[in-house]
Amino acid sequence: MPAAIQTLAQGSGNALVLDALAAETELADFADQVTSLESRRPARLRALDRARSLAASAAPLPAATTVCERLAAFEQGRELLAADDQITTIERDLADAVRTGLADAWQEYTATYTEALAALENAAAWQSLDESKRSALRRTHQLEPLAPLDLPDTDAVLTAVRARPFAGWRDLRDALPARVSAALTAAVREAQPRAVVVGTPGATLATDADLDAYVDKVREHLAAQLARHGTIVVKPS
C-alpha cells in the first residue's frame, strides 16, 4: 500500500485535506494500478480454472508431471495478477500435454482397432455377408472407426478429455477383442441358412403297396423342398 494512503489513514481535519492534495499523484498512480490489476482478473481466473481442470486430466501422463508441478508451485504464490502472466503459459503447456496424450491414445486405439478388424474381415462368415449387413454389425457392436481428434485450442482439448478421459481410451481399446468376437458370432449366425418348416402329405394306407407309394411321394416332396430352400425342418404330425 502506498505510504500516502497510510498517512491519510492516520490524519484528520484540515491536515487530512492537505495530505490528500499533496498525495494526489501517488493516489492516481495507485488507482491506475488497481484498475490494471482488476482488468487482468477475469482472464487470469479463467486460465487458472482451466489449468486446474487440465492438470487433473493430465495426471496419468508422465510428460505432464513437470508442468503440473509448476501449477502447484504457482498456486502457493501470489502472482496471479502480476505483470508477468505465468498462469496463461502454464495453461497453454498443460493443454499441449493433454492434446499430445489424446493424440497418442487415438493412435494406440486405431492401431489395435485396425488389427482387430482385419481379423474379423478375414473370417469366412464375415466375407459371406453383403456390405449392408457388415455395416449394420459394425454399428451394433461399436466397431466403426473413430475419426482423428480435432483439437485446435484449449476449449477443444478440455471438451475431448472430459468426454473421454485417458482411462476411457484404455477401456475402449481393451474392449475391442470382445466386440470383435461378438460381431463374428453374429456374422456366423447371420450366414447360416434359414431353415424352412415343411409338412408331409397326408394319406390313408391299407397295403404295402400303398406304403411304398406314399414313401416315394414323401421322399419326392421333401427332396423338392430341400433343393428349393437348402435347409428344412420337417413338421411333426
Q: What is the pLDDT of residues 35-89, one digit of tens each?
A: 766 767 778 889 999 999 999 999 999 999 999 999 998 888 887 767 678 889 9
Task: Name the residue among 52, 164, 49, 171 with its Cα closest to residue 101.
Answer: 164
pLDDT at 111: 97
What cell was used for 147?
475419426
pTM score, whole prediction = 0.68
Condensed to tens digits (0 to 9), the pLDDT of residues 119-136 reads: 999 998 899 899 999 999
Phi and psi, residue 232, nearest 5°: -130, 155
Contact 224, 186 (CB under 8 A): no
> Which residue reads 513437470 in cell numbers?
66
